[in-house]
Amino acid sequence: MSRLLPFLLGLLILAAGAKEAPRRPNFVIILADDMGYGDAGCYGGTALKTPHLDRLAAGGMRFTDFHSSGNVCSPTRAGLLTGRYQYRSGVDAVVNADPAVPAHHSGLQPEEFTFAEALKAKGYRVGLMGKWHVGYDRKYNPTHQGFDVFRGFVSGNIDYQSHFDRMGEFDWWHDLEKVREEGYSTHLITKHALGFIEAHKHEPFCLYVAHEAVHAPWQGPDDPAVRGPGATKGRGRSPKDALPAMMSAMDEGVGRIVAKLEELDLDERTLVFFFSDNGPAGGSAGPLRGRKGSNWEGGHRVPGIAWWPGTIKAGVVTDQLAISLDLMPTMLELAGASADPARPLDGVSLVPLLRRGEPLGNRRLFWNHKAMRDGRWKLILHGKGGGDPVGLYDLSKDIGERDNLAEEFPERVEKMKKALKAWSGDVTSKVTVQPGVEAFQKGKW
């Protein structure tokens, strides 16, 4: 017995230790493109059917006040990948498809530190299936930014069938090589996402599924190609005609990913987070003012759904103010990974909210040097011809930003303008140089 006791104690300690250190979760980040706040059934939308997204929301946490850090494609992606406001990495505008435009040569520079690199350093397998859009040149390829595998496209949008970008360049890749692959892009993205999960079911993984849907061109799975080599014949059908089928294809893809996680018994070990990179182009912003490209809520308040059975309670709706920049700190905390100390993250971890419903506290968030949130208050500055030069809205009562309270609360306006200016100064104090933009500014373009 005297010899057994230390052995039994050891077993107890081992068991207790195992309980405190659960296996690190997998991550599946699903990013929709140009999907508006009113484009999902669970957000009150009626024009498009999204049964699988609705089921995801019913089984997890649905955010009513979730935001993309940009109001167009590339900036939000740069913010998501680095966990920092995109002004810092210099990817604060769309990386243009046209090589004659300086911004075509912009991209996420190699020295940036991505969530993929942070997770890879902790033994995660990391994959990107779908849209990159933070650099055309091979030097900007996702495989140089921590992704073990990349299947998809580097431009802002491709023909869903022929995979040519809007300049008539073929744009479908497997890692560093262009490859021909038959199929509708949304279906291919789902297919490769399922293959990645299957291939890495026995190890921790992070899968970034960046859908092309529901960005233009307006093509459903049964519609013909509209672009070919060197040729761009147009943008397909009207959004109204094409969006239902485009959305259904993506929604079914979400359902298949969830089913795959359940089939492999990975559902309770995987955090799935779904959101959109900006407001709608062809779809609906619901009750919000503005659309893609706008600093009104319609430009950046987007659907956001977190799903993790057994950890996140089912059917929770949260009005906590959160932003896409929060995903990197969330994943890093859950993986026990660290950020680059020289590049502090701008978001906060959502873990206390997801696990225990704890509030995130009163937050300030900023967009484009023109808009900010301070809790329920939204300040928006307009340029010439933009209506009132200063708008102040209480979003808790006025989600549609109709009732300008700036004259009623001048001190609040001044306080927020000061905070916005200080933030602008901070995020532009040490910006990563973009070669094309720099050449243009120096007159060498």
Contact positions toward Ca ion, by CB under 5 A? Answer: 33-34, 73, 277-278
Conformational region of residue 18, where left means phi above 0, alpha means psi within -120 to 50, and beta covers everything else: alpha
Catalytic residue among 52, 104, 105, 133: 133
- Asked if 290 and 56 touch (Cβ cutoff 8 Å), the reply is no
- From the CB of 327, what's the least distance to Ca ion, in Å? 16
**Residue nearest Ca ion, Cβ-based:** 73
- From the CB of 405, what's the least distance to Ca ion, in Å? 31
Distances (CA, A) of 405 to 408, 413, 436: 5, 9, 42
Locate 426 and state its tokens: 């901070």
42 is catalytic: no
Nearer to Ca ion, 73 or 271 (CB): 73
Spatial separation of the C-alpha atoms in residues 18 and 328, rounded to whole Å: 26
Distances (CA, A) of 346 to 324, 365, 370: 10, 10, 18
Q: Is the dihedral of CA 333, 334, 339, 343 positive or negative?
A: negative
- From the CB of 292, what's the least distance to Ca ion, in Å? 6
Q: How many residues does the chain have?
A: 445
Catalytic residue among 67, 73, 105, 300: 73
Cα-to-chain-centroid distance, residue 273: 9
Q: CA angle, corner 96, sides to 93 and 100, nearest 5?
A: 125
- From the CB of 358, what's the least distance to Ca ion, in Å? 31
Residue 316's DSSP bridge partners are 61
Closest CA to 261 of 328, 310, 204, 194: 194
Spatial separation of the C-alpha atoms in residues 104 and 441, rounded to whole Å: 14
- Asked if 179 and 173 touch (Cβ cutoff 8 Å), the reply is yes
Spatial separation of the C-alpha atoms in residues 121 and 224, rounded to whole Å: 43
Nearer to Ca ion, 82 or 278 (CB): 278
133 is catalytic: yes
Q: CA angle, corner 361, sides to 21 and 87, nearest 5?
A: 90
Spatial separation of the C-alpha atoms in residues 287 and 304, rounded to whole Å: 16
Q: Which residues are catalytic?
A: 73, 133
